Amino acid sequence: MKAQTLSAADGTKLAARVYEPGSPDRGSVVIGGAMGVRQDFYAPFAHWLAGQGWRVVTFNYRGSGDSGPGGRALRGFKADLFDWTRDYEAAIDHAHAALPQRPLYLLGHSLGAQLPGLLDNQHKVSGMLCVAAGSGYWRENAPRLKRVVFYFWFVLVPLATALWGYFPGRRLRKVGDLPAGVVMQWRRWCLHPHYSVGAEGEAVRERYARARFPVHALSITDDELMTLSGTQSLLGLYPNAPSRVQRIGPADVGVRRLGHFGPFRAEHQAQLWPRMAQWLGGLARPGAAA
């Protein structure tokens, strides 16, 4: 693994890591992380995937993880989800430049599968594997999450963000520390039935419609945050992208619990990770990997 510093289009410096493959060299994978999740979390999977012949890039969005100030230094930090999309673009540009003749796939975990509809460099993407991703609209949240969603969006988020100047998620043990612009925009998305395209309007709808890369979505049966209907709604935001949904649960990989974060945990290396690698490779032939 090599630490890298990437530059977004506006000059913002981003912390990234590159996991170089041995042989053979199958192409590039850019891992787009979930909201509030540091790139460290994906390190075991990224290292394993590189061992399967992929050049893997992980990164932190600006204002999170190693990419910028943390904690109270986030007060007044300017960033929103459009900025985070520019950060995603920087990781894609870096990966594409390193292997321009090879396919480049996105592995989007939760938010990491939502932002690619906004990318300006979608033409560099050969396909996307979504993991535990949905639209985020609150009515399509899993029951456990839905029970607290009104308190979260109408009390905790606006009050805490106003008081601290950012969302102090680590202190509150909710999501993670987030720039104010990110969390308040995310709030608008989650409260709209059509999520990002509904909250942002026609220009964003047109961006999602430009996506033509195949999408394979893994819907986790015991996901505590996302539901199958949420995953289907997310795919609906990509109307011109060939897509399919793969349902997978704990019994399919011989465990008692999988959940929203489980697919990337090292204990699933033997049973689940080879299947995820197969699904990534199958994006070149939509429908081929079952």
* pLDDT of res. 198: 96
Give the residue from 127, 117, 130, 121 showing the smallest Cα distance to 93.
121
Beta strands in the chain (DSSP E): 2-7, 13-19, 27-32, 54-59, 104-109, 127-131, 166-168, 177-179, 215-220, 243-248
* pLDDT of res. 290: 38
* pLDDT of res. 69: 81
* pLDDT of res. 81: 98
3-state DSSP call for residue 190? Answer: helix
* pLDDT of res. 285: 54
Pick the CATH number of 2-282 from 3.40.50.300, 1.10.3720.10, 3.40.50.1820, 3.30.70.1520: 3.40.50.1820
pLDDT tens digits, the chain, 290 residues: what are they? 999 999 999 999 999 999 999 877 899 999 999 999 999 999 999 999 999 999 999 999 999 988 988 777 899 899 999 999 999 999 999 999 999 999 999 999 999 999 999 999 999 999 999 999 999 999 999 998 889 999 999 999 999 999 999 999 999 988 989 999 999 999 999 999 999 999 999 999 999 999 999 999 999 999 999 999 999 999 999 999 999 999 999 999 999 999 999 999 999 999 999 999 999 999 975 544 43
* pLDDT of res. 144: 86
Cα–Cα distance, 159 to 172 (Å, whole number): 12
